[in-house]
Structure 1
């Protein structure tokens, strides 16, 4: 049986007021199981309903795509069709926040709602990942940093500031300047701590790392206890 109180306490201990102020666990059908507090329960239910619709839509799309044969000439042979794989992660990026949805089990979803830098340009983007797909966002360190929400949050937590190590280049020979920039960027990245790399990659990356770690912890706990979330189709 799912201990909703203990799970809610775990979520509450892992939120951050800037980077990920809200976490909750729900079923794919939109039933709330546990959530961090404080919270506006009506707003949370509305959010869960929208996530449920988005999850079902993209899960159907991906399962349909996976069943399609990789070669049109193989239509007559069902054995050549790719085996269906379930949706594991859905990342929804709004101008004001990020929402990352992760399948802990087929019938149980962990949701992280994260903050974004004030200067964000993106208005809406949704990225779906099935099991085995490349991780989104990429873990590559960008060549040029910019002040972001997460850098301020992490700097404050560490009681210090991170230096970018970046300088501007005067105009001149493009090939030579480009090579120097690449060499310098590689040198800077190699000398960075993991925290500095995380900050440079961005808020979404840090939020993804958080939900990855929490998912692994919860899955391991459920496996040790032998807990499997049943289908909630008959829930009120």
Structure 2
């Protein structure tokens, strides 16, 4: 049995979803390429992620290497857009992706940047089977809407966390506005993403996601929206507007 066949048997990986991202792997670090939306969103994502981690573990972001001593798992790491900043902040980072083509891209860029990051072609469920030591933080960004079984996937994420650990999970709301913005706008009008990147039927409302997070054994603590301004061409955080992109923070009880 090949590694790919084993991966399919033991995970919630959706082969059709993975194939989409395999085709785009080489463009991860092109700020004007197919991942332009993520490059634009990344500063806002990092603001939320770093603030949540610092607050949960009582860390000072102005200190040198404030995340030193933390083990962070970046699921769906792609080319490393989140893994690299976490490593620069001092964390020990494991980046995993079910799209194998992303891993050499991420490895090469990390080497060019002088960063040591453990990148692996695997999945959350497969990590559990290898008895990986528990993580302090699981980054689960823009992944849950692409898996075959979101509840099983979130349960695997919970099991990878140590008690007291933090999971940050972002996805896309499911409503008429999100269809207009994330699919018609981003894929068909702006051309920011290839057509068919997202399936609106797999989008998840904030209440649905929180219910799944809590069913997985985590305690939901925060949710915020990522809001794009066409006037300033920037993203910002909002505690009121979760109508399209949004993010949650949850903790595994001690």
Q: Same fold (TM over 0.5)?
A: no
Instruction: Please identify which structure carries the higher strand content.
Output: 2
Given the two structures, how large is their TM-score scaled by the length of structure 1?
Answer: 0.29
Given the two structures, how large is their TM-score scaled by the length of structure 2?
Answer: 0.27
Q: Which has the larger radius of gyration?
A: 1
